[in-house]
């Protein structure tokens, strides 16, 4: 397969959008540059006593806002170029959804499937120690999160390692996506997929835009294909199918499956857990390659695995009307042009998968405030609603049942507030970039970059170059 330079692809999209902004050329160059690039190599003892050397990366792309923020990827594909590209995307993504962080990303070049849990813990703790020594982690400077190949478990190890190394009262804020008992927040695990759902729902509610695509408004009845049934892919599919979309195809690392009649997501997940694969799932056809299903007829295609999955080789055969980029960089710039030419709508990664960093921001706020969202206000709200309901009862014949009272007098707890903050963020940002798209006559990706460049650029205004 052709090799793509991911950072170059991100910069190409940036340059296209920069032409629509009034920023000084020097500032634009500074905005594109990666401020700090760290490559570390460290030894790890395997369970059998042998020693191997691990490559790790952390890139802080932009310090225009602090701390910097971005996930840690565990994959054999990890490289300096990939980490730089993903860190840059984080800067632009945070700006698009108004999350006040600079962009960063980390990577550990291993296949986690080939390591035992104790080995993974040793790798993660040593990586954290290296970040700490080099000042690449801390609630005020750089805050990692989960990404491809990592989850809450690894974030818990990172927090515990950092906590042992410092007396920082805000230590919980050194990493997000943690287990709940270690300062995590309700709703973080599903946040990226939930954000993908809110974003696509908002796009599909726009009558004019849907008519242009030859689609009706709403999610109900729309056919859906998902690539990668991991954290992001599974949760995107879950919320979209709960809203009435029909899952007709799924691609995983080893094969892809299809059914016109629809695939039951929960049953498929149970089958995958039991057999280790989606191959041969009842009522589905296993297609020729693991990418074949991307080319089947569907309304919404969600790449939720890795970058460069939609490229010059397959772009012409992709039939989806909406491509929701849940993964980072799934569409190469050449493929983007081919799909755009066909008139399909690409909802870009630097907006659509921002749900994860948005809820990470809420988690970080909770950690540095040392108080759970809703703790102060929930009871107060409930009591106020109850008072209003009782006034309604006294001035009317209406008597509420206990069930109605419970439903109507509900105050916002952590889960409800996180969900509401996430929806607000995704809806506002979508309309902001969709308006820019129409105003400049560009595509949504370029619009998202224009939005990001203007917001990051406004931080540069009046800023001296020190010293």
Q: What angle do CA 353, 206, 95 make, to 5 degrees?
A: 35
For residue 214, the minimal CB distance to ligand NAD (Å) is 28
d(CA 176, CA 159): 9
**Could you give the 3-state DSSP secondary structure of residue 94?**
helix
Burial 289-314 (b: 16+ CB within 10 A, else e): ebbbbbbbebbbbbbbbbbbbbbeeb
Nearer to ligand NAD, 277 or 454 (CB): 277
The least CB distance from residue 309 to ligand NAD, in Å, is 7
For β-strands 51-60 and 102-108, DSSP reports them as: antiparallel
To the nearest whole angstrom, how small is the minimum distance from the Cβ of residue 151 to ligand NAD? 7
Catalytic residue IDs: 105
User: Which residues contribute to the site for ligand NAD (CB under 6 A)?
Assistant: 71, 146-149, 192, 227-233, 251-253, 290, 304-306, 326-328, 353, 356
Query: Least CB distance from residue 371 to ligand NAD, whole Å?
Result: 24
Measured CA to CA, the distance from residue 93 to residue 358 in angstroms comes to 10
| End-to-end Cα separation, the chain, in angstroms | 46
Among 253, 232, 93, 87, residue whose Cα is nearest residue 151: 232
Cβ at position 396, least distance to ligand NAD in Å:
48
Residues written for the chain: 467
Positive or negative CA dihedral for 392, 393, 398, 400? positive
What lies within 8 Å, CB to CB, of 245 at 6+ separation is 219, 220, 221, 222, 223, 224, 299, 300
In angstroms, give the least distance from the CB of 157 to ligand NAD: 17
In the bound state with ligand NAD, the residue whose beta carbon lies nearer, of 305 and 315, is: 305
| Count of C-beta atoms within a 10 Å radius of residue 121 | 17
Q: Are 355 and 146 in contact (CB under 8 A)?
A: no
CB count within 10 Å of CB 385 equals 15
**CB 146, CB 172: distance < 8 Å:** no
Tell me the residue number closest to ligand NAD, measured at CB: 230
Nearer to ligand NAD, 227 or 292 (CB): 227
The smaller minimum CB distance to ligand NAD, of residues 76 and 431, is found at 76
Taking the least distance from each CB to ligand NAD, the nearer of 85 and 210 is: 85
């Amino acid at each position: 397969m052709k090799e793509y330079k991911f950072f170059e692809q991100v910069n190409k999209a940036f340059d296209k959008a920069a032409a629509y902004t009034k920023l000084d050329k020097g500032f634009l160059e500074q905005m594109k540059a990666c401020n700090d690039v760290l490559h570390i190599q460290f030894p790890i003892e395997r369970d059998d006593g042998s020693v191997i050397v691990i490559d790790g990366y952390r890139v802080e792309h932009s310090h225009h806002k602090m701390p910097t923020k971005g996930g840690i990827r565990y994959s054999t594909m990890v490289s300096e170029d990939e980490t730089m590209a993903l860190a840059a995307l984080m800067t632009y993504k945070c700006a698009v959804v108004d999350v006040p962080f600079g962009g960063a990303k980390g990577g550990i070049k291993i296949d986690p499937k080939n390591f035992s849990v104790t080995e993974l813990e040793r790798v993660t703790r040593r990586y954290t120690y290296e970040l700490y020594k080099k000042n690449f982690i801390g609630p005020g400077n750089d805050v990692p999160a989960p990404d491809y190949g990592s989850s809450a478990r690894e974030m818990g190890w990172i927090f515990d390692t950092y906590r042992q190394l410092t007396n920082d009262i805000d230590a919980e804020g050194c990493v997000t996506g943690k287990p709940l008992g270690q300062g995590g927040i309700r709703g973080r695990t599903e946040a990226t997929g939930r954000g993908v759902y809110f974003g696509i729902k908002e796009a599909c509610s726009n009558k004019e835009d849907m008519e242009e695509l030859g689609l009706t408004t709403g999610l109900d009845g729309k056919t859906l294909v998902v690539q990668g049934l991991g954290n992001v892919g599974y949760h995107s599919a879950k919320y979209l199918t709960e809203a009435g979309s029909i899952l007709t195809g799924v691609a995983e690392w080893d094969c892809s499956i299809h059914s016109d009649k629809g695939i039951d997501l929960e049953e498929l997940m149970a089958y995958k857990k039991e057999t280790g694969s989606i191959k041969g799932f009842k009522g589905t056809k296993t297609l020729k390659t693991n990418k074949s299903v991307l080319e089947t007829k569907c309304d919404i295609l969600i790449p939720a695995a890795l970058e460069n999955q939609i490229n010059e080789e397959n772009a012409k055969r992709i039939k989806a009307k909406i491509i929701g980029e849940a993964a980072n960089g799934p569409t190469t710039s050449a493929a983007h042009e081919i799909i755009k030419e066909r008139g399909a709508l690409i909802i870009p990664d630097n907006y659509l998968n921002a749900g994860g960093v948005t809820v990470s921001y809420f988690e970080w706020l909770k950690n540095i405030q040392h108080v759970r969202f809703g703790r102060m206000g929930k009871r107060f709200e409930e009591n106020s609603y109850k008072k209003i309901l009782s006034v309604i009862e006294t001035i009317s014949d209406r008597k509420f049942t206990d069930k109605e009272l419970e439903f109507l007098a509900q105050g916002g707890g952590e889960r409800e507030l996180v969900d509401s903050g996430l929806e607000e963020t995704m809806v506002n940002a979508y309309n902001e970039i969709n308006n820019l798209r129409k105003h400049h006559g560009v595509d949504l990706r370029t619009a998202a970059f224009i939005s990001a460049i203007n917001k990051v650029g406004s931080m540069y205004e009046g800023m001296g170059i020190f010293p």
